[in-house]
Amino acid sequence: MKLHPSARALRGKLRVPGDKSISHRAVFLGALSKGVTEVSGFLYGADCLATIDCFRRLGVRIEDARRKTDGAQVLQIEGKGIFALDTPFGELNAGNSGTTARLLTGILAAQAFTSIVTGDASLCSRPMKRVTEPLSQMGAVMESVNGNDCCPLRIHGTRLHAADLRLPVASAQVKSALLFAALYADAPTTVRETLPSRDHTERMLKHFGADLVIQDEPAVSPCAKSIRLTPGALLRAQKIHVPADLSSAAFLMAAAVLVPESEVLFREVGINPTRTGFLHVLEAYGADTEMSNIRDTTEPYADILVRSSKLVCPEGRLVIEGEIIPTLIDELPVIAVLAAFAEGETVIKQAGELRVKESDRISLLVRNLREMGADVEETMDGMVIRGGTTLHGAHIKTHGDHRIAMGFAVAALAAEGDTVLEDDACIAVSYPDFFKDLALLS
């Protein structure tokens, strides 16, 4: 795809697609509960569709419907309960979705059958030991078919035991897999984390009726907490409203900041505190944003107004590190783009997790930013970006990574000259209508 610099300001109101993380978990919990769960605002992106396909193969009936009261489209999930999943016919293919693959391990480890979880070439190169190793402490029996600690994984269902587990990395996916496994354990299981990670699974488990207790552990670290799940509680179907995905909105918010005279109102954006690091970075750069109409159901959400702004690092240098990293890990590609336009130096540290996403995002971001003329230096766990220079169009390699593709689509709007974006189709993983919505705003 060839992209041109934006000739017009971005203006209007927009609700970006539903939150990907919450959409995944709504299917998981709906499938394991009793009754029919209705999900409005569901994200029909490739990753979440992979989750639906896997649970259909496990015997769960999932279909689209129209709500009788207001005619809104809802996803209906006819739950089977935690012990009634069917033996799947063939492999469970998670596609490009690490969330699907990793969360499934916690459930499949306790079933009365053997299953295989696989995915595309990208997913089958991503590490799974971080989830299989702690699950093995609960008695799980699983093996990497190719012996490389990656998918395909062969999972032999067995009886799981209670455990006291400390997360090896700050990962909502690993935490969620362990909590799902805890539903099947023979006694209460405790999962401990030192740094915060997305808490959508904990919120939704409690909403569906799980016996879950969360406690802070200030003696360990200011952000540490323990999550204790006692098995045996009946999960009951719920009505779930999925707010708009902040991770998707972040790319168009960045576009609104960079394109002169822009003003866009983003509606019903999820503002879960474990996800709002991107908004804090915008504030640190001095971006003109305003939050209103705050609401809260299972998840908090609000309307966010974003206007074009001159970005400046506070006192000439902005360091992004520590506990904020897990709250903006998916937005770091577009933050790196913003940093290239901001006056001053931006340092991103302790973001080594970016190297094991859909691509090695650190090296790919650095390479592509340099192609556009940015002054950027790669480090082991991040990068240093000296911003304020004018970027120019370039040939951008995405390696099939949707967030890299969206990030450099935004950069192209504010650069001089045309940009060629390889494999723009990968954006359908999380935001199928990205370019359509961008065109509507311009």
pLDDT in tens, 337-394: 999 999 999 999 999 999 988 889 999 999 999 999 999 999 999 999 999 989 999 9
pLDDT (0 to 100) of residue 168 = 80
Average pLDDT, the chain: 95
The domain 20-241 is classified under which CATH number: 3.40.50.140, 3.90.380.10, 3.40.109.10, 3.65.10.10? 3.65.10.10
Judged against a pLDDT cut of 90, whether residue 26 lies above it is answered with yes
DSSP-assigned letters across all residues of 336-371: HHHHHHSEEEEEE-S-GGGGGSSS-HHHHHHHHHHH
pTM metric for this prediction? 0.92
**Mean pLDDT for the stretch of residues 311-332:** 95
Give domain limits for the chain: 2-17+243-441, 20-241
The rounded distance, in Å, linking the Cα atoms of 126 and 140 is: 20
86 is catalytic: no
- Domain spanning 2-17+243-441: which CATH class is it, in words? alpha beta
What is residue 398's three-state secondary structure?
Answer: coil
List, in order, residues 6 or more apart from 154 with CB less than 8 Å away: 114, 115, 116, 142, 143, 145
Judged against a pLDDT cut of 70, whether residue 71 lies above it is answered with no
How much of the chain, in percent, has pLDDT values that exceed 90?
90
pLDDT in tens, 118-131: 999 999 999 999 99
* Edge-to-edge strand ranges of the sheet holding 300-307: 11-14, 263-270, 300-307, 288-296
pLDDT (0 to 100) of residue 12 = 97
Judged against a pLDDT cut of 90, whether residue 298 lies above it is answered with no
pLDDT (0 to 100) of residue 358 = 86
Out of 19, 47, 303, 330, pick the active-site residue: 330
pLDDT in tens, 27-48: 999 999 999 999 999 999 999 9
Largest CA distance in the chain: 62
Are the folds of 2-17+243-441 and 20-241 the same? yes
